Amino acid sequence: MAALAGAALLSGCGTSAASGQPQNQMPAMPAASRAAEANPNLDLGTSLGGQPAPDFRLDNQFGQPMSLSQFRGKVIILAFTDSQCTTVCPLTTASMLQARQLLGPAGASVQLLGVNANPQATSVADVLAYSRAHAMVNQWDFLTGSDAQLEATWSAYHIAVQIQQGQIDHTPALFVIDQRGREQKIYLTAMAYSSVGQSAQVLAQEVSSLLPGHPRLASQQSLAAIPAETPTASITLPAAVSGAPVALGPGRPRLVLFFATWLSEVSDLSSELTGLNAYVQAAERDHLPQLVAVDETVTEPSVQAVRAYLRGLGGLRYPAALDTTGQVADGYGVQDQPWFVLVSVSGTIIWSHDGWLAAPALEAETRRA
């Protein structure tokens, strides 16, 4: 991580003749600010003191060479992104795009940049595939390069990148850089689906403070912690394609699959989803828990894109729903995509699994639980 300097508070002496209170008493923090500070899933940013942002030269998703310095005059939102990430990176990508959208026409003065943080998938094709999967091809420049170029860039921004048990781990950092190329704030993305929109608003507010006229945001929401929807809560979600809303909660055991259509970048998503029809057949025959799929819509390009994709599969034998707020994923403890959760009749999580499982393996797990 970048070194973060603490700020010292300077206080004067004396008392106020009118109130009898010390003049150096700090005003109470507004309730909204206190709520935002107390939100465990939201990083309000840490100042970097306006130090010069290290320059670099890498290639974007079209193979075009680019440097950070060429974007002087614009505010830059710079994220370090794994080109094959299925965990926190899609949340970061969604929040930075939403932040620019919140700025309206002023968003034209904002440049979105990603730097590849996957040492095993560094080709231009890799960053193009991620950009396509997240509908970002013409929304940002996703940069990559040789091992030496990427390692030098990671080091310059204090980004830790490592491979553990075949998984890529990296600092989930996002930087705001002003028009003169100075680092203003660093943010760390939390693994919380419900806070994507809040993170976007925090980013947009910081960018607005750097733009001429400080443009107002198109919309704002509370930054207080958003309650999760746990398996003990009875809820209904909108159907992903058609039909009645999809019910979740206690009353019957369920096998819940959390997924996103952008998984097609890293897996044969259509085959995985249609292959689960075999589990449905076994569940009906042997009275196993019902399968319900939940799309993590907060990280999708659009609801329409989700519905179009699922319609193109030719029919799933299990209901699919939209988690448009991320509260269900957070309540069920989702940390990756895809993510299976087996829930008891009382709403207790019995078992969870990260990654795809074939129908026979799912049948075995549900019988064993």
**Residue ranges of the chain with per-residue pLDDT less than 50:** 1-24, 26
Q: What is the pLDDT of residue 8?
A: 28
**DSSP type of residue 45:** -
- Say if strands 290-295 and 320-322 run parallel, antiparallel, or are unpaired: parallel
Each residue of 130-165: pLDDT tens digit?
Answer: 999 999 999 999 999 999 999 999 999 999 999 988
Three-state secondary structure call for residue 42: coil
Maximal CA-CA distance, the chain: 83
pLDDT score, position 166? 83
What is the reported pLDDT for 30? 83
What's the whole-number average pLDDT of the chain? 92
Taking phi over 0 as left and psi of -120 to 50 as alpha, with beta for the rest, 82 belongs to beta
CB 192 within 8 A of CB 2: no
**Contact predicate 103/215, CB 8 Å:** yes
Residues with Cβ within 8 Å of residue 220, at least 6 apart in sequence: 201
Whether residue 340 contacts residue 318, with contact meaning beta carbons closer than 8 Å, is answered with no
Q: Does this model's pTM top 0.75?
A: yes
- Closest of 152, 93, 157, 147 to residue 118, by C-alpha: 147
Query: For the segment 342-358, what is each residue's pLDDT rounded down to a tens digit?
Result: 999 999 999 999 999 99
All domains in the chain, ordered by first residue:
31-210 (3.40.30.10), 235-368 (3.40.30.10)
Q: Residues 200-241: pLDDT tens digits? A: 999 999 999 999 999 999 999 999 999 999 999 999 999 999
